[in-house]
Structure 1
Amino acid sequence: MREAAVLVPLLVREGTPHILFTKRPTTLRHHAGQYSFPGGSRDPEDPTPLHTALRETREELGIDVSGVRVLGALDEVPTLTEFRIQPFVGVIPQGVEYRPSPDEVEFILEVPLAELMNPAILRSERRSVRGVEYEVDFYTYGSHVIWGATGRILRNLLRLAS
């Protein structure tokens, strides 16, 4: 499996904790139009998966990641596309202005943590791929649907937060 890493960005807006997601442009070949956390494949120059997550966050969001306070890692998440994703949780400093890369980010979505913890927005479906059954989590926030590996990472984080 190929190594990848993401940052699960936490931030505070008006005293309320939020989680940041990016929506991938519909023009991309893979995972077009899906919600994700900033991240991607580990480059040979990245000494660790954390370096990958921070580099990708800088590239995708256009922010200085030196002020990101990394809280820790979540469990690795394997994907059907043969990636092994290492998620890291980090707090983005207040006042940071995003300059998203239009090649990688269609828009940025900040969702209050309390909304994501509401069980009414979560549904799960059984899926089968190549004869293997698995469960897919879908988080619906307004017109936005977060699912797939991002949904699994989110569920892992929310279990720790509750």
Structure 2
Amino acid sequence: MIRRWVLSLLKTVRKFFGEAIVVTQEVDDIIQSPIVKESIINNSDCKILLDQRKYMNKFDDIQAMLGLTDKEKAQILSINLNNNPKRLYKEVWIGLGGTHSGVYATEVSYSEYLAYTTEETEKLQVMNLAKELGGNVEMAIKRLVQEKQEEHKE
């Protein structure tokens, strides 16, 4: 029942030139679900993957399910391995229907980086400064950006 509904939804969205987006943080959600496998993956031309190194032991299963070539597998497993430490970016793999694929850097401004970072030391730095500024996180981020800009001028 659910499988037919998901398949119908995907086909309807495509019929109107739309894009259905499915996001998961757990690779097992993809590997173990026949609904995902039969309804979503088989009807998706565009696939976007982030760093998959923690799934290296399962990646052959992922490769088979997603229908990835060995070249695409190598691209995906290369994500974030040789990033320039002086730049704030992460890499992402985008595959378009088996015809084009590549690894791309996604880079944001320093203020955006500070707003969304998950690095504990950086989050603490922002939150501690915000506490000094009466709880104003936006002001704390602006101050840290300004400090970094002044460091680079010297």
TM over 0.5: no
- The TM-score, its normalising length taken from structure 2, stands at 0.23
Relative to total residues, which structure has the larger helix share, 1 or 2? 2
Q: Which protein has the larger Cα radius of gyration, Structure 1 or Structure 2?
A: 2
